[in-house]
Amino acid sequence: MSIWDKLFGELIDVIDWTDDSRHTLVYRFPRHGNEIKNGAMLTVREGQIAALVNEGELADIFTPGLYQLETANMPILSTLQGWKHGFESPFKAEVYFFNTRTFTDMKWGLRNPLILRDQEFGVIRVRAFGSYTFKISDPAVLLREIVGTDGHFVLEEIIGQLKNLVVSGFAQVISQSGVPVLDLAANYDDLGRFLTQELLPQFSAYGLSLEQLLVENVSVPPAVEKALDERAGSIAVGDLNRFTRYQQAQAMRDAANQPGAAGGAMGMGMGFGMAQSFGQALAKGDDTDPLQPPPMPDNVKEVKHYYVIIDGDRIGPFNLMAIKELVDKDQLNADTLVWTAGLDDWTGADQVKEIKALLQQQPPPMPK
């Protein structure tokens, strides 16, 4: 440093920090020899905290405001220096500025799938991601545990560690909660609030405060998603017949309302009559409705359901029709492990009589 820099530093009597990079957590004000003139003006803006450090030891803390630094109004620094009376000469101290604004939209996510034991699907792989916000809560702890002598401590120096804290906390809470995977989507808000409280002590150990943690998505493997879609479709089919009857009744009513002569009048009568018929059947669940199949005979056995293992995932339950679709798509072969009620353990598909029959219906490989 040149003599001009030293002289210029001696003349400066205003200490402040302005930074718009939005990624700096801690900044040390540069001064030659760390000398501060007695009576210097310290400006601390909103969203900042300033700290005086004497020989590596945190002394006075200044919240937002304008301060005149004099030995008489800095009790902790005066005690550390052993000043019994004020004096006019410069004193040595480092000035650190802490950015106390809330750092938002910090992303987190699982690098690898989390393996869980789910109540409904058994062993399953789960992925998740979200975001969180944090801020500096204890400058002394942050300076002592993380920053040290770093004169420009930025977000990139700690963001990786904070992300690891969130990911490990999420994995631990989900593994121990026992909440079914299907119920997680309905509990994102509660899960985020619970994780925030659970991770607060770990952030506090760094002098930080976890303000909010959001769980944005929890996903399962594609094979499980397909099984869920098929299950939802089978439930929807239960109401399909009623919906069809309703549409037909509406169409007939609209046709009857069309203007016309005798044919229109006859159509109107037929339309209202058939609409009334459909409406009564819809309201009463008439078993004689021609759109409904005849009742099942008493001697029909209960439909069996099957579970299969594909690509290491257990999926199901499937009825025999769904099993046939898997066979037709070459997703299920003789070596695929299958289980259904009555079997002691998983067994090859060709060992189950009804599935073996489906396999035998498949054509041989095409000739080369």
- Reported as a single tens digit per residue, the pLDDT across 146-186 is 988 888 999 999 999 999 999 999 988 888 877 787 777 77
* Band of residue 338 on the pLDDT scale cut at 50, 70, 90: very high
**What's residue 133's pLDDT?**
95
97, 104, 101, 80: which is closest to 143 by C-alpha? 97
When the candidates are 3.40.50.720, 3.40.50.970, 3.30.479.30, 3.30.70.100, the CATH number that belongs to 103-220 is 3.30.479.30
Q: Which position has the higher pLDDT, 340 or 250?
A: 340
Residue 241 has pLDDT above 70, yes or no: no
The bridge status of strand 347-348 relative to strand 57-62 is unpaired
Residue 160: partners with Cβ closer than 8 Å, 6 or more residues away = none
**What's residue 262's pLDDT?**
45
**What's residue 263's pLDDT?**
46
Per-residue model confidence as pLDDT tens digits over 110-139: 888 888 887 777 788 888 999 999 999 999
Domain layout of the chain by residue ranges: 3-99, 103-220, 226-284, 306-360
Residue 209 has pLDDT above 90, yes or no: yes
Residue 280 has pLDDT above 70, yes or no: no
**What's residue 120's pLDDT?**
74
120, 281, 135: which is closest to 208 by C-alpha? 135
Peptide bond into 180 cis (omega under 30): no
Do 78 and 36 form a contact (C-beta atoms < 8 A)?
Answer: no
Q: Which of 97-106, 129-138, 185-194 has the lowest mean pLDDT?
A: 185-194
Q: What is the C-alpha to C-alpha distance for residues 163 and 132, in angstroms, rounded to an integer? A: 9
